[in-house]
Chains A and B, each alone.
Chain A
């Protein structure tokens, strides 16, 4: 099997989809988790509520991973026979992964900050949990939209001739 530049670019697209939103989500959830430990120290029974806020910035990483899996399917990685992409096709894959890669990275970090700020609500007025959740979800809107763009691009814009 000979390796083409297109394949390298295609793999790079998969890597981007996994790495950038994954890093963003890791930072975002870490922000909430480390601040949340303070809340849980005061009242261990608030663990569940803190966890709920912590998972929110985690979704970008999942969107990224999902994009990565879809690209791998398109490239025939699971079929055990990687399609020899042309350079143009490789760039196409990178372009399609870009929305969720970039928006996922940045929105996850920022969403983590919003969610961490929401921990104050949980500490002082746990009955108002819904409100910080919605604040954090506002940020996620843009990650959802970017993911939608990537998803449609990957599902319909890309056909390398593999089984998807």
Chain B
């Protein structure tokens, strides 16, 4: 119903208990730690890590081991990628194990480091081999061109007077180049293979040392450079053979290493456990840096919800008695974090608020007030009872299968509840998977009477707008701002109602209603003109601002019109459902065999329609809350309450037996 009351808690205890107390806090997870405020020159405080010897070493050691373990996890992922399904991507898929298994596996730090060494070794071995393989392949691709050359590579260097160069000529210009060279360097002798199928023809050029420069210059002009063969003993053909032998050895070794790596995959759970256990420890060390300490005692400050103070007190005192703990209300200048507090049914709807952002401390939590509106808007926007049943069941199954926390959990419970709204609206409007079963509407079908549905949408919108104004009025009145409550919100009720009656009266068939509306609008409007300029002293500016304020009427009217989206979204999903049913049923005309394509189209079509429209319904129902409703009274800017708790990345600790 509201924003939970926050207490500031201060805890003072001997430094020797620091580690243990911080661990208790992490276990219970109800305190958000805040850096203690002191005037440094007044006291000779240090922070807790400085007070505890060799604390820093431990922290850096932890970080180091965590880096190692992260390497293992990434390494494992290379060999077996664990695919998260689409829901886990939103809700966070973790491995579920029991607390005792976690403690058992998580303490095996040394084993974890051993596994890291093995992983590292395998990884180094693999990358060494893959580097060698690519180098060998380069050599292979080069040497394969010279396989015909029956001379050891080391002897292809020439003698004191003769030089030997290796070139590759493009086949297309081979004859032209040879002819040109024969003319300009007649003393050069060329050797090439008898036949070459490739784009390039390998050529050995043998010449006197003094002709070499000229030959190189001429070929460089054609962009042909001499090749240098890798230094391998034996003829090119022998070298190629050697490379092939070595490559097959490398492939075998790589396979062996990969098998070794896959053998390590069974250690994954252990690595996850150690990782999460150590990261929890690192969190504790990091937290300690926020605390101040003297030689013997330390102080820890934080925020705690009033309703959990007793739990906190019990948890800490059951383990440590030499502590001083006190709680107090926040000071004026303090900015407590915001946590929402609602009755169980409304708790899931906190997700709507949490997605938008937290209200300012001391203001209103709109979650409870949003509940009926979000519920019914979602129902109208999706508007089909069959879809509602499927949505609820799907959400409940997912909630059972996947452990979720925080906003994600609330969101899925909310969707499950909203499925009921769809059933309600679908039953009223006779939509069960469209017209698939031909069930008659309890009330009316929006397809036959969309104007009535439009009226319903506007009416619901009007109710929500009045509710928003009412909440602001109540809040202002409670704060003692009676003037604001009456003038800024109160006067809008007669003015807006009167205006709408004036507009709608004639069409309702009663001119009397229009007459009443006229006077309501005049009275409300006059009140607004007289009061809305009250900030100004000058009488003309006063009246001017007052008259301008009537212009806000357009905002209210456009707010109401915005609710027409409910009709449009509802019609969209039901008309698509009709089209799907119509297409599917046509297959029955081809006889008994038509059942197969019919069922196929029905299933695929309705699943598609449901998926698309659930997103649309959620987004537009949210928008109606955020813009049309929250806009009337919500004051944002609150900081979300983030208690210090066990935050794990890979492991979710569950009850024994659930793992």
A residues touching B (Cβ–Cβ < 8 Å)? 45-49, 51-52, 55-56, 58-59, 62-63, 66, 69-70, 78, 127, 129-131, 133-134, 136-138, 140-141, 144-145, 147-148, 151-152, 155-156
Cβ of B356 and Cβ of A130 under 8 Å apart? yes
Q: At the interface, yes or no: B569 with Cβ under 8 Å from chain A?
A: yes
Cα–Cα, bound, A129→B90 (Å): 10
**CB contact between A49 and one of B90, B564, B579 (< 8 Å): that residue:** B90
- Taking A52-B615, A55-B612, A56-B619 as contacts, is the C-beta distance between A47 and B86 under 8 angstroms? yes
Cβ of A152 and Cβ of B450 under 8 Å apart? yes
Cβ of B89 and Cβ of A45 under 8 Å apart? yes
Q: At the interface, yes or no: B518 with Cβ under 8 Å from chain A?
A: no
**CB contact between B572 and one of A52, A131, A147 (< 8 Å): that residue:** A147
Q: A49-B89, A130-B622, A144-B569 are in contact. List 15 more A-B contacts (CB 8 A).
A: A46-B89, A47-B89, A52-B615, A59-B616, A127-B407, A130-B356, A134-B619, A137-B619, A137-B620, A137-B623, A144-B564, A145-B561, A147-B568, A148-B568, A152-B450
Q: At the interface, yes or no: B567 with Cβ under 8 Å from chain A?
A: yes
Cα–Cα, bound, A144→B613 (Å): 13
Cα–Cα, bound, A70→B578 (Å): 10
**CB contact between A66 and one of B88, B572, B616, B627 (< 8 Å): that residue:** B572
A-chain residues with CB within 8 Å of residue B620 when the two chains form the complex: 137, 140, 144
Q: Can you show 9 pairs from A to B with CB atoms below 8 A apart?
A: A129-B355, A131-B356, A134-B356, A134-B622, A137-B619, A137-B622, A141-B562, A148-B564, A151-B450
Q: At the interface, yes or no: B587 with Cβ under 8 Å from chain A?
A: no
Q: How far is the CB of A153 from chain B (nearest CB, A)?
A: 11
Cβ of B626 and Cβ of A134 under 8 Å apart? yes
Q: At the interface, yes or no: B188 with Cβ under 8 Å from chain A?
A: no
Cα–Cα, bound, A136→B620 (Å): 10
**CB contact between B612 and one of A45, A49, A58, A70 (< 8 Å): that residue:** A58
Cβ of A63 and Cβ of B572 under 8 Å apart? yes
Q: How would you classify the secondary structure of chain A's contact residues: helix, strand, loop or mixed?
A: helix
B residues touching A (Cβ–Cβ < 8 Å)? 84, 86-90, 355-356, 407, 447, 450, 561-562, 564-565, 567-569, 571-572, 575-576, 579, 582, 612, 615-616, 619-620, 622-623, 626-627
**CB contact between A145 and one of B355, B568, B622, B623 (< 8 Å): that residue:** B568
Closest to A137 in B: B619
B-chain residues with CB within 8 Å of residue A152 when the two chains form the complex: 450
B-chain residues with CB within 8 Å of residue A78 when the two chains form the complex: 582
Q: How far is the CB of A132 from chain B (nearest CB, A)?
A: 11
- Taking A141-B562, A148-B565, A151-B568 as contacts, is the C-beta distance between A133 and B619 under 8 angstroms? yes
Closest to B411 in A: A130
Most buried by B among A130, A140, A156: A130
| Top 6 A-B residue pairs of the complex, sorted by shortest distance between their CB atoms | A130-B355, A48-B89, A148-B568, A137-B619, A144-B565, A48-B86
**CB contact between A62 and one of B564, B576, B582, B627 (< 8 Å): that residue:** B576
Q: How far is the CB of B270 from chain A (nearest CB, A)?
A: 22
**CB contact between B623 and one of A46, A47, A127, A134 (< 8 Å): that residue:** A134
**CB contact between A69 and one of B86, B356, B579, B612 (< 8 Å): that residue:** B579
A-chain residues with CB within 8 Å of residue B89 when the two chains form the complex: 45-49
B-chain residues with CB within 8 Å of residue A47 when the two chains form the complex: 86, 89
B-chain residues with CB within 8 Å of residue A130 when the two chains form the complex: 355-356, 622
Q: How far is the CB of B605 from chain A (nearest CB, A)?
A: 12
Give the number of A-B contacts (CB < 8 Å): 82
Cβ of B619 and Cβ of A62 under 8 Å apart? no
Cα–Cα, bound, A156→B88 (Å): 45
A-chain residues with CB within 8 Å of residue B407 when the two chains form the complex: 127
B-chain residues with CB within 8 Å of residue A137 when the two chains form the complex: 619-620, 622-623
Q: How far is the CB of A161 from chain B (nearest CB, A)?
A: 18
Closest to B569 in A: A144
- Taking A49-B90, A127-B407, A130-B356 as contacts, is the C-beta distance between A144 and B568 under 8 angstroms? yes
Cα–Cα, bound, A28→B564 (Å): 24
Cβ of A145 and Cβ of B565 under 8 Å apart? yes
Closest to B408 in A: A127
A-chain residues with CB within 8 Å of residue B84 when the two chains form the complex: 45
Cβ of B564 and Cβ of A145 under 8 Å apart? yes
B-chain residues with CB within 8 Å of residue A63 when the two chains form the complex: 572
A-chain residues with CB within 8 Å of residue B450 when the two chains form the complex: 151-152, 155-156
A-chain residues with CB within 8 Å of residue B571 when the two chains form the complex: 151
Cβ of A131 and Cβ of B355 under 8 Å apart? yes
Closest to B567 in A: A148
A-chain residues with CB within 8 Å of residue B623 when the two chains form the complex: 134, 137-138, 141
Cβ of A66 and Cβ of B575 under 8 Å apart? yes
Q: How far is the CB of A129 from chain B (nearest CB, A)?
A: 8
Cβ of A48 and Cβ of B576 under 8 Å apart? no
Q: How far is the CB of A111 from chain B (nearest CB, A)?
A: 11
A-chain residues with CB within 8 Å of residue B569 when the two chains form the complex: 144
Q: How far is the CB of B638 from chain A (nearest CB, A)?
A: 15
Cα–Cα, bound, A49→B615 (Å): 12
Closest to A136 in B: B619
Cβ of B90 and Cβ of A66 under 8 Å apart? no
Cβ of A56 and Cβ of B576 under 8 Å apart? no
Q: How far is the CB of B631 from chain A (nearest CB, A)?
A: 13
Q: How far is the CB of B139 from chain A (nearest CB, A)?
A: 34
Q: How far is the CB of A79 from chain B (nearest CB, A)?
A: 11
**CB contact between B565 and one of A45, A70, A141 (< 8 Å): that residue:** A141
Q: How far is the CB of A118 from chain B (nearest CB, A)?
A: 12
Most buried by A among B89, B562, B623: B89
Closest to B88 in A: A45
Closest to B568 in A: A148
Q: How far is the CB of A42 from chain B (nearest CB, A)?
A: 14
Cβ of B576 and Cβ of A66 under 8 Å apart? yes
B-chain residues with CB within 8 Å of residue A46 when the two chains form the complex: 89
Q: How far is the CB of A33 from chain B (nearest CB, A)?
A: 16
